[in-house]
Every structure is written in structure tokens, then in C-alpha cells.
């Protein structure tokens, strides 16, 4: 889908207006993430509706004897590594060259290591080359999603790299898995093209059966991307904006609209409404809800809800939005949920970071709904 966004210089943190509170916000934010995304422009305008904010759519194996250590960065893989078959092939003369001839999706370089002392598998996403161009301008905004099957809920995502087919990631993620259980796991590294205005598109993925990997020493390898299998049932998307005013300690959530919701009624439609929960320490402390929209899969709300959140607590809370289908006779059934906050991952973390980096401004974004039992982030420390 064509992009409707354009880059805008990131606004510097307010100093005199917010005082020590702004310093606390941005100091904690920079420790958690060192990046902020571009703003998206565009207005959601509907007939007979008000103008809404811009909406951007373990025991050590007896056969392995080596010092235990914990890699903190992929760049530390300068130590002797175990190459895989792909590593022995001639290296292209330049980024992206010769790759398209072999695989039009591109290829990914990654590293693997296991720390026996902490019982963690360390997965490094190093770089990618010759990725498929999914944007109209002939480029992509790639990022990588990493998880270990069969557990797809515990996943990590790299930062998004704008307008490039040859991104250098240099990020490492840890999965706490007993060594004796690794043989039954499959590592998935899926490359996506980020799109704030619609659903992120899958470029391709690499699957590595852990039973085929010798973790006696670090692994550094290139693998060709393969077409990703068909994803699970789509539940729909929701667009909402976040706004935080540090001086007032006020967090405002504006539920704008949803689209392509899952059909829940016999007639092929739904009666959707949205619950907005403020969570602290994993517990729901405040609750709001929108009006019910009858017989539609594409409801429009434009309803605002505010919560009091002191600036020293803003990185300890999460916001959870649940889309439900109203049933007059039976129990209201949840269609899907979205969580945002410092403890959330992927799009939920990116949206929260944008909000904190732009105090007093509403930041709108589309999110894909996830199954209700697989969305809630872990409690903030």
C-alpha cells in the first residue's frame, strides 16, 4: 500500500516547560530505546463527523566443553565462529548484488550462541541484503521479528530501518530456554516491511531447526529468505492516538476507528465497541469504554478517554484496548486486543516511544488486533 507519511525532524525534549519531569521521561526512555519514529501526516475525515487527529495506519550438555559467557552485542562475534554452508559461498561484491539473481526476497545474516550459565539462547540479527522492494518508491522499511516455535507469543523485534534494502541491524535477543529443550524448537526470523498506515507486509523469513545447530561454539551464517507461510486468521485493525502531558500528568487515549473486524454475528457483521484499560503491575486499575456501533465491521468512534498518570509512573503503566462484539442476549465476545507501553514490544513500544518523545501532541497509529489471550505485556519492573 502506498505510504502517506513523510519524515519530520524529531522534536527535542522540553526542558524549561516540563522541568525535571521531562528529564525523567526522556532519561528513562533513552535507556529503554534509543530511537524515535518519524511522524505521520494525514487526516481522517468523515462526513457528518468532527475532524480527528492524524491517523498513521538448565544443565550444560555433557558433550560441550567451553567457557560460559554472555554476548552483549552481535558485534562481539569477532571471536572464532562456526560457519554454515551458506557462509562458504563467495561474498557478493556489493550490497544487494548477485543476491536478487539467487533469491528475489533477499538474504539475512544472523548469529547464534548459547550461554549455559544463564540458560539463554542468544540470537543476533546482523544484517540483510537485497531485500524485496515493497514500497512504490522502490525501497522498503524493514525490521525483523524473532521467535522460537512452538511459542510464538514470546517474540522480539528489531528497530525499523527506513528506506533501505540492505539494513544493518546489529541487535541481539535472548530466549531463556533449557538446553535440553532446544532440540525441539524452531527459530524463526521473519523480515517485514513496516507501514504505519496499514498492515505490515511480510518480505520473507528464515527458519532454523535448533536440532540441526551445533552450539558448541558461536554460529555466524547467511541464509536465503523464503516466502512466509500464510498467517493466522485476521482479526482486524484499530487506529487510536496517544497524548501525554507531563506537567499535568495526563494520558489521553482517543479511539478513532477500526476496520476489517472479524465477523462475529450470524448475519456476517458485528456490533463492536472498545474497552480501554490502564494497567499497572499487570493489574487493571482504570477502565473506560466507547459506544456500541451496530452492524458494522468498520466502526468509527473518535472518542477520547483520559487517565491520571504521574510522570514518574508513565513508564510503569500499559494501556490495553480490547475490541468486543456486543450481544444483547449472551456474553459479549472479545474480537482482539492491542497493548501499548514501555513493556510492550513491536508496534506497541514504537507508539509509546513516539508519544513520550512528543509531549502534548496526539500521536495516532494503526495496530493489528491480536488474539485476546496473547496480547497482555508482562508487568513493568
Q: Please, is 262 exposed, middle or buried when counting C-beta atoms within 10 Å of its C-beta (0-12, 13-18, 19+)? A: middle
CA-based nearest residue to 369, from 192, 232, 201: 232
Predicted confidence at residue 180, as pLDDT, reads: 86
Predicted confidence at residue 8, as pLDDT, reads: 42
> Which strand ranges, in their side-by-side order, compose the sheet holding 300-308?
300-308, 250-259, 237-245, 363-368
Say how far apart CA 284 and CA 281 lie, in whole Å: 8
Terminal Cα distance for the chain, rounded: 38
Q: How far is CA 229 from CA 49, 198, 203, 226, 261, in A?
A: 40, 20, 11, 9, 22
Q: Residue 370 has which C-alpha cell? A: 491480536
Predicted confidence at residue 373, as pLDDT, reads: 64
- Average pLDDT, 10 consecutive residues per value, the chain (381 residues): 44 46 53 44 41 46 38 38 39 38 78 91 94 84 91 84 93 91 91 76 91 89 86 82 94 95 79 94 90 94 95 92 87 90 86 93 93 53 40
Predicted confidence at residue 310, as pLDDT, reads: 92
Predicted confidence at residue 248, as pLDDT, reads: 93
Helix (H, G, I), strand (E, B) or coil at 27: helix
Would residue 268 be called left, alpha or beta, if left means φ above 0 and alpha means ψ between -120 and 50 degrees?
A: left
Residues 40/53, Cβ–Cβ less than 8 Å: no
Predicted confidence at residue 29, as pLDDT, reads: 52
Contacts of 179 (CB under 8 A, 6+ apart): 58, 59, 60, 61, 114, 116, 119, 215
Predicted confidence at residue 279, as pLDDT, reads: 93
Predicted confidence at residue 23, as pLDDT, reads: 54
Predicted confidence at residue 68, as pLDDT, reads: 38
Number of H-type helices and E-type strands within the chain: 3, 17
Domains present along the chain, CATH in parentheses? 107-224 (2.60.40.150), 237-368 (2.60.40.150)
Say how far apart CA 178 and CA 63 lie, in whole Å: 15
Q: How far is CA 109 from CA 175, 216, 325, in A?
A: 19, 19, 44
Predicted confidence at residue 100, as pLDDT, reads: 36
Say how far apart CA 71 and CA 81 lie, in whole Å: 13
Q: How far is CA 95 from CA 128, 130, 362, in A?
A: 9, 7, 39
CA-based nearest residue to 376, from 318, 325, 333: 318
In tens, the pLDDT along 61-97 reads: 433 334 333 333 333 333 334 444 333 333 443 433 3
Say how far apart CA 55 and CA 325 lie, in whole Å: 23
Say how far apart CA 132 and CA 165 lie, in whole Å: 7
Amino acid at each position: 500500500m502506498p505510504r502517506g507519511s513523510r519524515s519530520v525532524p524529531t522534536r527535542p525534549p522540553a526542558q524549561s516547560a516540563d522541568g525535571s519531569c521531562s528529564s525523567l521521561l526522556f532519561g528513562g526512555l533513552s535507556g529503554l530505546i534509543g530511537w524515535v519514529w518519524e511522524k505521520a501526516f494525514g487526516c481522517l475525515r468523515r462526513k457528518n463527523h468532527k475532524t480527528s487527529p492524524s491517523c498513521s495506519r538448565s544443565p550444560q550438555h555433557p558433550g560441550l566443553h567451553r567457557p560460559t559467557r554472555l554476548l552483549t552485542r552481535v558485534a562481539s562475534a569477532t571471536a572464532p565462529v562456526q560457519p554454515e554452508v551458506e557462509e562458504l559461498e563467495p561474498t557478493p561484491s556489493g550490497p544487494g548484488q548477485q543476491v536478487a539473481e539467487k533469491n528475489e526476497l533477499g538474504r539475512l545474516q544472523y548469529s547464534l550462541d548459547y550461554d549455559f550459565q544463564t540458560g539463554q539462547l542468544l540470537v543476533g540479527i546482523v544484517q540483510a541484503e537485497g531485500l524485496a522492494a515493497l514500497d512504490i518508491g522502490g525501497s522498503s522499511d524493514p525490521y525483523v521479528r524473532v521467535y522460537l516455535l512452538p511459542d510464538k507469543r514470546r517474540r522480539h523485534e528489531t528497530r525499523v530501518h527506513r528506506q533501505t534494502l540492505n539494513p544493518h541491524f546489529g541487535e541481539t535477543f535472548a530466549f531463556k530456554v533449557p538446553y535440553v529443550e532446544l532440540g525441539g524448537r524452531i527459530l524463526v526470523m521473519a523480515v517485514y516491511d513496516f507501514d504505519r498506515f496499514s498492515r505490515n507486509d511480510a518480505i520473507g523469513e528464515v527458519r532454523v531447526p535448533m536440532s540441526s545447530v551445533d552450539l558448541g561454539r558461536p554460529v555466524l551464517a547467511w541464509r536465503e529468505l523464503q516466502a512466509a507461510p500464510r498467517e493466522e486468521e485476521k482479526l482486524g485493525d484499530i487506529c487510536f492516538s496517544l497524548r501525554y502531558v507531563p506537567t499535568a500528568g495526563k494520558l489521553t487515549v482517543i479511539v478513532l476507528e477500526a476496520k476489517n473486524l472479524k465477523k462475529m454475528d450470524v448475519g456476517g457483521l458485528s456490533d463492536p465497541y472498545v474497552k480501554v484499560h490502564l494497567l499497572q503491575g499487570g493489574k487493571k486499575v482504570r477502565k473506560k469504554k466507547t459506544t456500541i456501533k451496530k452492524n458494522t465491521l468498520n466502526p468509527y468512534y473518535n472518542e477520547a478517554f483520559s487517565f491520571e498518570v504521574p510522570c514518574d509512573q508513565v513508564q510503569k503503566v500499559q494501556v490495553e484496548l480490547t475490541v468486543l462484539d456486543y450481544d444483547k442476549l449472551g456474553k459479549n465476545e472479545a474480537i482482539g486486543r492491542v497493548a501499548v507501553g514501555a513493556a510492550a514490544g513491536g508496534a506497541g513500544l514504537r507508539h509509546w516511544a513516539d508519544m513520550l518523545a512528543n509531549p502534548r501532541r496526539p500521536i495516532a497509529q494503526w495496530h493489528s488486533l491480536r488474539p485476546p489471550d496473547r496480547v497482555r505485556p508482562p508487568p513493568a519492573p
